Every structure is written in C-alpha cells, then in structure tokens.
C-alpha cells in the first residue's frame, strides 16, 4: 500500500528531523531529502516543506534548489531559510537584520482569515532563529503575520498555495506550531492522515515478506525496545526463518544477560545466547578514545555475528534494529549538509567478507514511534517502557580504558540507581538514565581513614526521540539516598555527582 506523503527538503537545519516528527504525529507520512537531490514528485506527494538552514540566502555558497516542479504546482511551506529563499527567487529583498531574533517572540499581527493561521491567536508565541530579514516582498505576496520587530513573519503568494513563515513551528516553544502545521497539511494540502501504527505494521510485514521470501535472517537482539520490535515484525513476516542472537559483550547491566533471555521466553522467538565477554575485553584493552572503542566494539560484533551466522545453514541476511536518530547522528541522513556527531556500531554497512545483506525494518522511525508500533503489536508495557541503552553498552559510560573491574563497579552503581528509580516511582518519568565512570580520583574520608578513590556521575534525562533532551530534576532526597547507597555499598567509589546539562549542547551519553 502506498501512502500520501510530505517531502521535506533539508537545507541542513538542526530542526529538520523535528519537522518530520511533527508531520508524523498528525498520522501523515513524511520523508526528508537533500535540497540538491529532490525526489520524483509523484501522485502520492501532497505537499513540500522547505527547512531552515545554517546558511544565509545572501551567501555565495547557499543552497539553491530548483523548485520549478513544486512551486505553484503543489502546496508549499517555506520555514525560515525556506521562506527567505522563496522570497529572494521571486524578486524580494533579504537584508541583514537590524534586530536579530533568536528564541521566543510573539506574533503582534495575525491574519486569521488565512487558512494557514486559522485558530492561531494574535499573541501566539513562536521560536525564531535568524540573522536575516525579508525587507521587501514582490507585489503578489501578502503579509499574513508579523512580530513587533519583524514585519514579514509569514506570507502567502496570491493565486498559489505557497506559504512561508520566518519562525519554526516544529519546535516545542512555538505554542501553536502544531495547529499551523495541521492547517497546512490537512486544510490546505488535503492529507487524509492515513499513516498509523497499524498501517506501518501491515505495510512493513508485507514488504519484508516480499523482500526476504524464504531466506534465513540472523538478528542481533539486545532486550531493548528497538531490536525487540524489529524481531517481532520479522517474526510475523518470516517466522522460523528468523534466528535471533543475544551476545553478552561483558558490557551489559548487572544480570542483564540472564534476564533478557528469560524475557523472550513465551514470545515465540528463536533466541540463542552467546557469551563473548572475553573477546570484547580483549579488543578494548588499552583503548581510551571513544571513537576507537565504538569501532572496536562494532568490529567485534561483526566478528561474532559472522561466526554465529556460519552456524546457520544458508543464512543470507543480517537484520538490525537501527532507528532514524542512529542514522542521522552517524552520517548525513539525507546526503545534505548535516554533520556527523558520532558513529554507531550498527550503522554503515558490513565488510565484504561477511557476505550478508542488511535489512533494517525500523530505520525510518524515531524512538517514540517504535514504542507506538510495539504497543500496536502487543509487546508488553514493561519492555516497551524500558530506557534506551547504548549499543556499545557500558564501554561508553566508562570514560577512558575499559577494564573488568571498572565494568563491575559501574554495573553495581547502575543497578542501585535504576532500582531506586523504579522503587520510588520515578523510572517511567525518565526517558533515559545511567551512570558514568569518571577518569578521575578524589580524596575522601571513610571512618578515620583518608581515601583516594573513583567518582561516578549519574545522568537522567527527559526526551521524546533522543534528538534533544533536558536533565530531570530528581528530588534532592532521592539523590541523597542513592549517593549514600552507592558510596556505602560499592567498593572503589567515594564521590557521586549529578549531570545537569541538556542536549544540545551536551549529548545524552558522555562518549
């Protein structure tokens, strides 16, 4: 089944992925494509959205997409850079702002008779992020919204379904952003909102059946949400031809290997547990650089999977639970001007010697979407509510070289922290939590003795998709209790700190 879709042209904005999420929240399928590689505009494309950009339209090397097959032919919404670009190519003037607008602003004028701004109040708060201003518009452009500092906060082109806004409706701080996008996508573009979890499952299972046929597939399973949802979808498509492998890399949480294997009992999945702790400790020995650790773990995963896959006769595919944030943080998701933040062990293909093709049923989904899909196919609430856990495991929560002793210490610290969150009813209000083993030692006093031992940092964040995150204001009494328990029960730790940084500028993990 094909779905109506919205094409989002990416000019490198940090918010492009948020546009896609907001569109999908309205049950409308969206795809992100680079501005310089516009896909075929077929009958399924209902509208096009132009993203913001770190570039200025006045720059010589700024993005210059060809909108000939789009503008005036399909509903078009330009956001920030997109708004300025449409104005510029139509004969308008763009100048450096006399008063820059970054952050919150309020609309001082709104033309509510315009469909785009239906039910958007006059004082609506919006999020601005621009250093240029549209100073003049062509005669057939109508200003439909302003702020006290920027006259052209939004406009429409007469006799075209072309709209543009200087602010970002996709971010949380634009309080009526969802209403504006709904007006554009449903009232203007006429989308029927046909992209739902049940339709995704139906489509994906059908595609997997067609793609895989009677081939055998091996899947690395971790006990987390992503790999579990991927496994159930694949199991629906190919049944007994799916072989799940859960590798104990020695970097899991305390008792996780046994509890994860137990968790899959009764789910109808064919899961094999493989103890490879020593192999991973060996390749991590002497490594301190985060990227080198990630790559070493990724390479060893491939070795283990290659070895295990050879034990399965005629296996042809390796399935992975890769999701969209993995892809867009590892490489430019769109081929556009986005930059790499970090590499992921399950992104980037496989070496030629492995001879396995890759299938990734979730690589277009954000984490919250994966959970909705999981709920729709009956995966239990406790598993779906489990916090994300990094593929390289505790290796990237141990800053510096990884040793068995550091892993043991961090497992105990993590166990105390996570158990306390659950006991105090805080676990479900936190998106991700964990502990970091810091490469510093500090002076302490225990009894009458001076100590010189290790420090750990606790981290708890709230988020919806991992693209942005804020630290959770855990109660002081709770933090005090956890700190005391860690220092009293975990030998080798004499100091506990709490991380109060958000993403951006920090990342959720420390490495």
Active-site choice (4, 101, 130, 168): 168
Would residue 191 show up in a list of annotated catalytic residues for this protein? no
In angstroms, what CA-CA distances link 280 with 200, 306, 392? Answer: 36, 15, 10
Handedness of CA 92, 96, 97, 103 (dihedral sign): positive
Place of tokens 């020695």: 250
Evaluate the omega torsion of the peptide bond into residue 181 and state whether it is cis, within 30 degrees of 0: no
Angle, vertex CA 20, rays to CA 18 and CA 21, nearest 5: 65
Closest CA to 125 of 180, 72, 163: 180
Burial class (CB in 10 A: 0-12, 13-18, 19+), 12: buried
d(Cα 415, Cα 227) in Å, to the nearest integer? Answer: 22
Residues forming beta bridges with residue 242, ordered by sequence position: 217
In angstroms, rounded to a whole number, what is the distance separating the alpha carbons of residues 50 and 86?
Answer: 9
User: By the 8 A CB rule, do 166 and 57 touch?
Assistant: no
Length of the chain: 511
CB atoms within 10 A of CB 447: 6
Q: For residue 359, give Cα distances in angstroms to 205, 340, 417, 437, 471.
A: 12, 23, 35, 35, 34
The pairing of strands 125-136 and 93-110 is: antiparallel
CA 329 to centroid of chain Cα atoms: 8
CA separation for the pair 319, 218 (Å, rounded) = 6
Question: Torsions phi, psi of 10, nearest 5?
Answer: -95, 120
Which of 4, 80, 256, 511 is catalytic? The answer is 80
| Alpha carbons 23 and 7: distance in angstroms, whole number | 10
**Catalytic status, residue 244:** no
* Bond preceding residue 269 cis, omega within 30 of 0: no
List 101, 170, 316, 511, catalytic entry: 170
Q: Does the bond joining 505 to the residue before it have cis omega, within 30 degrees of 0?
A: yes
For this structure, is 313 an active site residue?
no
H or E element at residue 315: strand 315-319
Cα separation, 251 vs 468, in Å, equals: 26
Active site residues: 80, 168, 170
């Amino acid at each position: 089944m094909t779905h109506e879709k919205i094409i989002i042209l990416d000019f490198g904005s940090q918010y492009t992925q948020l546009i896609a999420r907001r569109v999908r929240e309205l049950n409308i399928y969206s795809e992100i494509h680079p501005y310089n590689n516009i896909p075929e505009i077929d009958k399924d494309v209902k509208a096009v959205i132009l993203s913001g950009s770190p570039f200025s339209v006045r720059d010589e090397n700024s993005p210059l997409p060809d909108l000939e097959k789009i503008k005036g032919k399909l509903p078009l919404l330009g956001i920030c850079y997109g708004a300025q670009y449409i104005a510029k190519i139509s004969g308008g003037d763009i100048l450096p702002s006399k008063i820059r607008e970054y952050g919150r602003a309020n609309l001082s004028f709104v033309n509510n008779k315009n469909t785009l701004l239906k039910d958007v109040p006059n004082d609506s708060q919006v999020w601005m992020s621009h250093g240029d201003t549209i100073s003049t518009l062509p005669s057939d452009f109508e200003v439909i919204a302003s702020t006290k500092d920027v006259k052209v906060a939004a406009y429409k082109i007469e006799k075209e379904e072309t709209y543009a806004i200087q602010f970002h409706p996709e971010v949380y701080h634009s309080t009526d952003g969802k209403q504006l996008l709904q007006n554009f996508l449903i009232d203007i573009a006429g989308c029927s909102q046909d992209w739902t979890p049940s339709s995704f499952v139906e489509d994906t299972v059908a595609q997997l059946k067609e793609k895989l046929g009677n081939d055998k597939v091996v899947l690395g399973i971790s006990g987390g949400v992503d790999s579990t949802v991927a496994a159930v979808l694949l199991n629906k498509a190919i049944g007994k031809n799916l072989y799940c492998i859960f590798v104990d890399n020695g970097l899991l949480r305390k008792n996780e290997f046994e509890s994860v294997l137990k968790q899959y009992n009764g789910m109808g999945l064919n899961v094999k547990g493989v103890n490879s702790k020593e192999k991973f400790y060996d390749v991590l020995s002497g490594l301190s650089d985060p990227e080198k650790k990630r790559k070493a773990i990724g390479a060893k995963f491939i070795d283990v999977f290659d070895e295990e896959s050879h034990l399965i006769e005629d296996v042809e595919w390796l399935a992975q639970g890769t999701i969209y944030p993995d892809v867009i943080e590892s490489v430019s998701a769109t081929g556009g001007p986005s930059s790499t933040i970090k590499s992921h062990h399950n992104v980037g293909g496989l070496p030629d010697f492995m001879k396995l093709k890759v299938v990734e049923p979730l690589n277009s989904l954000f984490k919250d979407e994966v959970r909705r899909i999981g709920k729709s196919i009956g995966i239990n609430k406790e598993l779906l509510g489990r916090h994300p856990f990094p593929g390289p495991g505790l290796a990237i929560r141990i800053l510096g070289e990884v040793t068995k002793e550091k892993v043991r210490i961090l497992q105990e610290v993590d166990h105390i922290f996570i158990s306390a969150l659950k006991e105090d009813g805080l676990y479900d209000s936190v998106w991700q939590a964990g502990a970091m083993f810091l490469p510093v030692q500090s002076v302490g006093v225990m009894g009458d003795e001076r100590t010189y031992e290790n420090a750990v940092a606790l981290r708890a964040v709230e988020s919806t998709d991992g693209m942005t995150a804020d630290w959770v204001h855990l109660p002081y009494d709770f933090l005090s209790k956890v700190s005391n328990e860690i220092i009293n029960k975990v030998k080798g730790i004499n100091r506990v700190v709490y991380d109060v940084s958000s993403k951006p500028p920090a990342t959720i993990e420390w490495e």
